[in-house]
Structure 1
Amino acid sequence: MILTDTHTHLYYEKDPELRDQLMQRCLENKVSRLFLPNVDSESIPLVFSLSEQYPENCFPMLGLHPCDVKDNFKEELTFIEQEIAQRKIYAIGEIGIDLHWDKTTLSIQQEAFRIQIAWAKKLDLPIVIHCREAFDEIFEIICELKDEKLRGIFHCFSGTLEQAEKVIDLGFYLGIGGVLTYKNSGLDKVVEQISLDYLVLETDSPYLTPVPFRGKTNESSYLIYVAQKLADIKQISIESLAEITTHNSKLVFGV
């Protein structure tokens, strides 16, 4: 069985010994494919340190997180673009719009999002979208820029069935994480009505820890609890669930 965590910040753990323990627990739980998004220029070395240590298991992505789109965002983008030119990456991400913390940066978040979508198209890479309280704003840009090259994942999807169908109609996958295990999230009712052909798994560790560890720090090894919950909803074995969602991840990332 091979489980794929399509979105994890496992590299945030900087202690080499503890990081190795995290990876070992992943492998013990059959989570053997991990996709690592940076968030800004400073996190790039951390992403590549881990992916170079575990080249068979960890796959880097690069982008500028919307919460890190500040007054200096053009300098950040220039630096990240230069890194992309010198590195092997598998997606542009995580990118998008976040209006939860700061609505005043919407215009520059939109600009940064458009710029990075252009990168992805030029390089023929998928994008990994961070969307928080900004579905309509993101949907507008995706519709505006949609062509045969624009594809990817709506990371940490927790929206409505209508929103899910819009994402799928645009040719994107839904990243399903720990929120699925939360009693009152309603996400279980949404994914129940969506084909597994459009779903991939993720943890977003160290955030959004699934039940039974909710309230504690998340880690990629806990993906198995998200997988089991989704398998239960779909009434299939976790092995079948792993096969389908890992296959989907390979279609997205090309590896």
Structure 2
Amino acid sequence: EAVFHCFSGDIVFAQQVLDAGWNISFTGSITYKNSTMDDVVRLVPMDRFMIETDCPYLPPHPHRGQRNSPLFLHLVAEKIAELKGITPKEVAAASYENAMRFFRIPEPEVKPVKSGRKK
């Protein structure tokens, strides 16, 4: 498996990456006014992308020129959601699931915790 980190290729190259069974990762650069990535974002299936900061580089609009931060990652998810016609939560969930699968991270076992408050 492979992931094309900080993907900036054209739609032809994106299709070649997908045909090879690999994944594509998007950064804040997809939010720039001069971005040519809209069709690439639309092309990539929900189970084949991840979102990333590439921190400290490539902050999303309107933070271009500043140091990037994980706090801005929601702007990448919002742009993908806009282009795919889905919600940012769906984008975040897909990216999370794809990253967990790609990096072979087991799902955390979540156990209920008592709050200690009386009802």
Give the TM-score normalised by the residue count of structure 2. Answer: 0.83
Gaps (5+ residues) in structure 2? 106-119
Alignment map for 1:62-73 (pairs within 5 Å): none
Whichever structure has more strand as a proportion of its residues is 1
Whole-Å separation in 2 of the counterparts to 1:189 and 1:171: 19
Q: Are the counterparts in 1 of residues 31 and 60 from structure 2 also a CA contact under 8 Å?
A: yes
Whole-Å separation in 2 of the counterparts to 1:201 and 1:193: 15
Alignment map for 1:70-219 (pairs within 5 Å): 151-219=1-69
Which whole-Å deviations, capped at 9, do the CAs of 1:4-34 have from their partners, x for residues lacking one?
xxxxxxxxxxxxxxxxxxxxxxxxxxxxxxx
Whole-Å separation in 2 of the counterparts to 1:242 and 1:168: 20
Report runs of 4+ in structure 1 exceeding 3 Å deviation.
Answer: none
Whole-Å separation in 2 of the counterparts to 1:238 and 1:185: 19
Gaps (5+ residues) in structure 1? 1-150
Partner of 1:248: 98
Q: CA RMSD in A?
A: 1.0
Whole-Å separation in 1 of the counterparts to 2:51 and 2:66: 20
Give the TM-score normalised by the residue count of structure 1. Answer: 0.40
Identity, % of aligned positions: 39
AA aligned opposite 1:226 = V
Aligned residues: 105
Whole-Å separation in 2 of the counterparts to 1:156 and 1:203: 9
Q: Are the counterparts in 1 of residues 18 and 44 from structure 2 also a CA contact under 8 Å?
A: no
Whichever structure has more helix as a proportion of its residues is 1
Q: CA deviation at 1:242?
A: 0.9
Whole-Å separation in 1 of the counterparts to 2:22 and 2:8: 15
Whole-Å separation in 1 of the counterparts to 2:71 and 2:2: 23
Question: 3-state SS of the aligned residue for 2:99?
Answer: helix
Q: CA deviation at 1:182?
A: 0.8
Q: Are the counterparts in 1 of residues 31 and 79 from structure 2 also a CA contact under 8 Å?
A: yes
Which whole-Å deviations, capped at 9, do the CAs of 1:100-145 have from their partners, x for residues lacking one?
xxxxxxxxxxxxxxxxxxxxxxxxxxxxxxxxxxxxxxxxxxxxxx
Whole-Å separation in 1 of the counterparts to 2:69 and 2:93: 21
